Amino acid sequence: MGQSQFLPTSLTRRRFLQYSGGLAMSGSLLAACAGTGTTTPGTSTNNSVPSLTQWYHVYGEKGTHEAVLKYAKDYTKANVKVSWVPGVGDEYGSKVRAALLGSTPPDVFELPGPTVDQVKAGLIAPLDDIIDSVKSDFLPASLKPLTINGHVYAIKMINDPVFVYYRKSMFKKANITDTPKTLDEFISVAKKLSSGTVKGIYVGPDGGVDAFHQIAGWASGGDFISDDKKIIFNTDRVAAAYEKLHTLYTSGALLPDAPDFWWNSAPFKNGSVAMQWCGLWAMPEIKAALGDDFGIFPFPALDAQSKPATADGGWAEMVSAKGKNVDAAKAYVKALWIDNAAVQKDWNVAYGFHVPARVSISTETDKLKTAPASDAVDILNKYGHSMTPYWDSTMETALVEAVTNIIKKGAKGKAELDKAADKCNTELQKLV
């Protein structure tokens, strides 16, 4: 993802908005996605083929700008003008949304995913015709945030799994022989690893609200909106998962704050904590700092009745339905993000560190074949989750407020989730 006021120059990443599609993470992480820079057009030139405009947000990783210009220049079936669009926070997303409503929208653009309103307004083109033949080669969690009413409206470009990093030497010193499999074990391990100035884990300055407010629900065996479009997160099991996180919050095992948020691995690298919640993007710099003295594991299951969880985040390519060359734009998206394995490997691991969205290509990517990178891919494939496009910012706010009250204030989980579910249901009725 791109650079922002939240990320120092030592950490540049492309992210997840969503993470699980659109609003899988909170606004603070969304703000970490957009970069600051200048719009730089690049063009291939052939007067006998259609012309296309393509927008990217400003990625922070060195070499990404040059890469997208090369992809465009190498494509011979259209003249592709690339715009490297600046902005911090959600400025890039706001610019795209405004352009889609105007008379000259970009033909091809990236976002974490489509919105229901965009589809209803006829602003984005369905891409079933270019993905259907390889649809089974994408994880269900990769397709979920891109699918509305059975139609796919975007092609995933990168997958960004998240998990817990741990120091092997600190586990050994504390006589911990295995990674935690349940939330109770997770809390116990975090407490055992807290010693002196070193805390057990860092999950952000908010006690894990931003990091875990969706993943904890999935790790309980629950979800947020059902396939038949009903609010379903206000259950006893989901509430129990959040209440476990209150226990962690009050355990004394958390590093309470750090100069950077949880997606920056600095507290883990500098030895402030034995564990940290972070993402695959940080693995190269962690390896450079710690060598082989680290491993990873997914967010633990609530108990034996459920499974661990991670979020399948990342960015996706979309096509404006009002563009002058919709078929040519679709063909370009297909050429890059469905057909061209070399481009997909290059984009995911040559500049930052991510997982190609096509499963078959992720298994062929050399840098992802050995542990712990291969463990990250395995975690994503087994335990990846994402949000439906029917989850919007109003629902996200309601959930975050409830989870904040549970984790930080010790409020009763089920009662808080019931209140949030009522708000979410009112909002959902506007979309279905």
Shared-domain flag, residues 43 and 144: yes
Shared-domain flag, residues 168 and 299: yes
Shared-domain flag, residues 139 and 172: no
Shared-domain flag, residues 34 and 149: yes
> Domain boundary residue among 292, 310, 328?
310
In a domain, 136, yes or no: yes
Rg (CA), the chain: 21
Residue 163 β-bridge partners: 278
Shared-domain flag, residues 187 and 137: no
Specify the pLDDT at position 27: 35
> Residue 354: which region, alpha, beta or left (left: phi > 0; alpha: psi -120 to 50)?
beta
In a domain, 36, yes or no: yes
Shared-domain flag, residues 130 and 218: no
In a domain, 421, yes or no: no
Per-residue pLDDT of the chain (432 residues; tens, 9 = 90+): 332 222 322 333 333 333 333 444 433 333 333 343 444 445 556 678 999 999 999 998 999 999 999 999 999 999 999 999 998 778 999 999 999 999 999 999 999 999 999 999 999 999 999 999 999 999 999 999 999 999 999 999 999 999 999 999 999 999 999 999 999 999 999 999 999 999 999 999 999 999 999 999 999 999 999 999 999 999 999 999 999 999 999 999 999 989 889 999 999 999 999 999 999 999 999 999 999 999 999 999 999 999 999 999 999 999 999 999 999 999 999 999 999 999 999 999 999 999 999 999 999 999 999 999 999 999 999 999 999 999 999 999 999 999 999 999 999 999 999 999 999 999 999 999
Shared-domain flag, residues 52 and 153: yes
Shared-domain flag, residues 186 and 235: yes
> Domain boundary residue among 284, 310, 336?
310
* Alpha carbons within 13 A on the beta-carbon side of 166: 25
> Domain boundary residue among 278, 310, 342?
310
- Alpha-carbon gap, residue 377 to 119, rounded angstroms: 31
Shared-domain flag, residues 33 and 156: yes
In a domain, 205, yes or no: yes
In a domain, 417, yes or no: no
Q: Which domain holds residue 170?
A: 162-310
Q: Which residues contact 265 (CB under 8 A, 6 or more apart)?
A: 11, 165, 276, 278, 282, 285, 286
Q: Residue 33 in contact with residue 14, Cβ under 8 Å?
A: yes
Residue 301 β-bridge partners: 182
Shared-domain flag, residues 295 and 321: no
In a domain, 411, yes or no: no
In a domain, 11, yes or no: no
In a domain, 10, yes or no: no
Q: Residue 210 in contact with residue 29, Cβ under 8 Å?
A: yes
Shared-domain flag, residues 332 and 306: no
Domain count across the chain: 2
- Alpha-carbon gap, residue 191 to 177, rounded angstroms: 15
Shared-domain flag, residues 186 and 173: yes
CATH number at residue 169: 3.40.190.10
